[in-house]
Chains A and B, each alone.
Chain A
Amino acid sequence: MLAPAPSGAVIAQPLTLDGITHSYGAGLAVDNVTLEVKGGELVALLGPSGCGKTTLLRIVAGFIEQSNGKVIIGDRSIDTLPPNRREIGIVFQNYALFPHLTVAQNIAYGLAARGESREIQLERVREMLATVQMQAFAERKPRQLSGGQQQRVALARALAMRPRILLLDEPFAALDKNLRLDMQIEIKRLQRQFALTAIMVTHDQDEAMAIADRIAVMNSGRIEQLGTPVEVYDQPASLFVNSFIGSSNLLPATISGKVEGGYAVALANGAAWQVMSPARFAAGQSVIVSVRPEQMLLADEASPARFPVMLKLSLPIGGEMIHDVTAVDGASLKIAMPRRPGMVASTTASAFCGLGEHARPVLFPLSPS
């Protein structure tokens, strides 16, 4: 490690959102959200624009006063504190670096505001510059820095205040794709090093999957599902979560009977599958079966668990071959299979489509009651 961890025993504080509700005029922006972020945990608020994730972040920061509910750090409610007394660090979406101040002055700003001595400011600036590996840039102005460098400064500025909580607002949106991974690793490293409890707001599921310990998928002001990236991906709680996280094929089907741990389903396209599901369905009920593209396969031989498809297009994308196929009922599906080296687009026009070996299809009721 390049910089020593902050001295003294640092214990990460849990952050609790207790029944937060907020409305703008007539619309509910945040609808009774309860979320417990454990000490040292990074939770991503993931959702489309307008789902209330940014409003929630601004409520935690103190920029918006919620209509109802409590924000608690440790065991203390912070709702009565103004933004400048909350001791929460924020990395703003476009970093919000002070354009007329140098990197060093930006980092020292909070300490100066707090009235710390010049020695302490210098010392902390030096430490933070080392932490984000920006020692050579202390006297630069923000506009002379690249996007990644600006983000490092924004992190250093926030961490210089030794915050208890770190909020990240779309931290990677303004970065080039190949820079993102570096910064994701960097943020994860700093979050561990400083024992920070963190909330990240993002609309990008890859970002959330990459660095969050848990993901809260939000939709119209509510948390639809809270879980680890793997849980959210493999066991989406709703059709919305299912479609928002990754891509999937949705196949209409009917429940034909119960089996151990799940159901036998008859797909509309003729195939019969057994799908594990903890949910409760009645025989004959119409359902949607969702399968991830990489959990399906194409085969030459027919079987009761496979249905015939017409191959429209095959694209070699990196290590995968993406097939675009049409089932007999006209449904369009995507199938991703590992590409053997040298394999090019398939020449056969028709094939049989089935589940891969470790496939975990998910059942959803057709019309949620």
Chain B
Amino acid sequence: MQRSTFSDVTYAWAIGLLAGLGVLILIGPVLIVIATSFTTSQTLRFPPPELSLRWYRDLFDPVRSAQIHSAALNSVWVAGTATIIGAVMSVLAALAITRVARPSARILEASFLSPLILPTLSYGLAALMFFSVIGIRPSLNLLIAGHLVVIAPFIFRTTLASLTQLDPALLEASANLGASRFFGFRRITLPLIAPGIAAGCFLAFISSMDNVPVSLFLSNARTGMLPIRMWGMMESTLDVRIAAIAGVLILATLILMIVMDRLTGLTKRISG
């Protein structure tokens, strides 16, 4: 048995404390909001006096929560559509950019990625002004276009990473074996970059779902989006249903993430 010295013990304690603090900050709020969502009370107070499913029942009531449902549907529709369009565009762009060695390709790459660093708030305002100048009125399609700009780079980036890891000899082998370019793309390139595309789509969908700045500028009363609606409820009524929405969103994300991880090894890709 090895005796632990004083410094070993202090080291273990210090690291343990920091790790605990980290976990507390990361997980704590999530636990609190979930606990609060099961309250019986009328207010967003922690700790809840008693537990019930009252607010979830309220949230899923088609009449009383009609506005929330329509906002949620809008959000899912916008996120889903923007993700699908973004996936097609990003994959095509990434394919072209990895094939071309010219400096112009590097410039295009940087500009396709730029929405990631552009302040989204500025973009939201700019998009609103731009679209009103050219005379397009706010609509769900406009929101899709706005979200597309902000979320497509997620897919572009992960797809590009998968493509640069793809051994070019594989496509040469495919051509050498008599396959057309399209056959090689379908049977070799696409299956090998699919996990990268899926990981990007996941990030893009989530980021669209909780995007506030773009939705704030581009939506109106008829095209309410879930995060905006939640913020409105928070400001006016401190409705406990907000906590229930948060609970549903966390659960949905968790399920989506587990499914994705099973399918593609997502966590490895996001951290890589």
Contact with A along B158-191 (1 / 0, CB 8 A): 0000000001011011111111100110011001
* Contact, CB under 8 Å: B172 / A92: yes
Tell me, in angstroms, the Cα distance from A94 to B170 when the chains sit together. Answer: 10
With A110-B178, A113-B180, A161-B178 as contacts: A83 and B187 at CB distance below 8 Å = no
Interchain CB contact under 8 A, B172 and A109: no
A98 in contact with B183 (CB, 8 Å): no
A91-132 interface mask toward B, CB cutoff 8 Å, 1 = contact, 0 = none? 011101111100000000110111000000000000000000
18 interchain pairs, CB-CB under 8 A:
A61-B172, A61-B176, A62-B175, A84-B175, A84-B177, A84-B178, A84-B179, A88-B176, A96-B170, A96-B172, A97-B173, A98-B173, A98-B174, A99-B192, A113-B183, A113-B187, A158-B177, A161-B177
Q: Mark B108-135, 1 if CB is under 8 A from A, else 0.
A: 0000000000000000000000000000
Q: Shortest beta-carbon distance, B269 to chain A, in Å?
A: 16
- Return the chain B residue nearest A93 by Cβ: B169
Closest 3 CB pairs of A and B: A110-B177, A113-B179, A96-B169
- In the complex, A157 has a CB within 8 A of chain B: yes
- The CA-CA distance from A85 to B172 in the complex, in Å, is 13
Between A and B, how many residue pairs show CB distances below 8 Å? 67
Interface string of A61-97 (1 = CB under 8 A from B): 1110000000000000000001111111110111011
Bound CA–CA A129/B178 (angstroms): 20
Contact (Cβ within 8 A) A109 B177: yes
Residues of chain B within 8 A of A83, CB atoms compared: 172, 175-176
Q: Is the CB of A109 within 8 A of B176?
A: no
A114 CA to B173 CA in the complex, in Å?
Answer: 14
User: Number of A residues whose C-beta is below 8 Å from B?
Assistant: 28
Nearest opposing residue in chain A for B179, CB measure: A113
Q: Distance (Å) between the CB of A162 and the closest chain B CB? A: 11
Chain A residues within 8 Å of B173, by CB: 90, 92, 96-98, 157
Residues of the B chain whose Cβ atoms lie less than 8 Å from the Cβ of A62? 175
Q: A109 touches which one: B167, B169, B179, B192 (CB < 8 A)? A: B179
A:293-339 near B, CB below 8 Å: none
Q: CA of A117 to CA of B179 in the docked complex: distance in angstroms?
A: 15
A158 CB contacts on chain B under 8 angstroms: 176-177
Query: B177: which of A82, A99, A157 is its contact (CB, 8 Å)?
Result: A157
In contact, B191 and A100 (Cβ under 8 angstroms): yes
Closest B residue to A86 by beta carbon equals: B176
Contact pick for A113, options B167, B169, B177, B192, CB 8 Å: B177
Which residues of B lie under 8 Å from residue A92 when comparing CB positions?
169, 172-173
* Secondary structure of the B contact surface, majority rule: helix
Query: Residues of B contacting A112 with CB < 8 Å?
Result: 187
Name the A residues within 8 Å of B167 (CB-CB).
94, 96
From the candidates B170, B175, B192, name the one contacting A82 in the complex (CB within 8 A): B175
- Given A100-B192, A109-B174, are A94 and B179 also a contact pair (CB < 8 Å)? no
Bound-state Cα–Cα, A88 to B192, Å: 25
Residue of chain A at shortest CB distance from B191: A100
Tell me the bound Cα distance from A89 to B183 in angstroms: 18
Cα(A99)–Cα(B165), bound, Å? 13
Partner of B176, one of A90, A97, A100: A90
CB distance from A113 to the nearest CB of B (A): 4
Q: Which residues of A contact B187 (CB under 8 A)?
A: 98, 109, 112-113
Bound CA span A61–B179, Å: 14
Residues in A with CB closer than 8 Å to B172 are 61, 63, 83, 90, 92, 96
Q: Among A61, A87, A89, A113, which residue has the most Cβ atoms of chain B within 10 A?
A: A113
* Complex: A233 Cα to B188 Cα, angstroms: 44
* Cβ contacts under 8 Å, B180 to chain A: 84, 113
Q: Nearest A residue to B192 by beta-carbon distance? A: A100
> Which residues on B sit within 8 Å (CB–CB) of A85?
178
Closest Cβ of chain A to B99, distance in Å, is 14
Give every chain B residue within 8 A of A161 (Cβ-Cβ).
Answer: 177-178
Within 8 A of B (CB), among A119-151: none
**Per-residue contact bits, chain B 129-167, to A (CB 8 Å; 1 contact, 0 not):** 000000000000000000000000000000000000001
With A92-B169, A113-B180 as given contacts, are A98 and B175 in contact (CB-CB < 8 Å)? no
A87 to B177, CA, bound (A): 8
Bound-state CA distance A355–B250 (Å) is 86
CB distance from B183 to the nearest CB of A (A): 5
How many angstroms between the C-alpha atoms of A157 and B177 in the bound complex? 8
How far is A158 from B176 in the complex, measured between Cα atoms in Å? 9
**Mask of B36-78 contacts with A, CB within 8 angstroms, 1/0:** 0000000000000000000000000000000000000000000
B169, B175, B178, B192 — most chain A CB neighbours (10 Å): B178
Having A84-B175, A86-B176, one finds 4 other A-B pairs with CB under 8 Å, namely: A90-B173, A94-B169, A109-B179, A157-B173
Separation of A85 and B179 alpha carbons in the complex (Å)? 9
A114 and B170: CB pair below 8 A?
no
Among residues of A, the one whose C-beta sits closest to the C-beta of B167 is: A96
Minimum distance in angstroms from A27 CB to a CB of chain B: 17
CA distance A36 to B188 in the complex (A): 35
Task: Give the docked Cα–Cα distance between A69 and B55 (Å).
Answer: 80
Contacts of A100 in B (CB 8 A): 191-192
For residue A88, which residues in chain B have a CB less than 8 angstroms away from its CB? Answer: 176
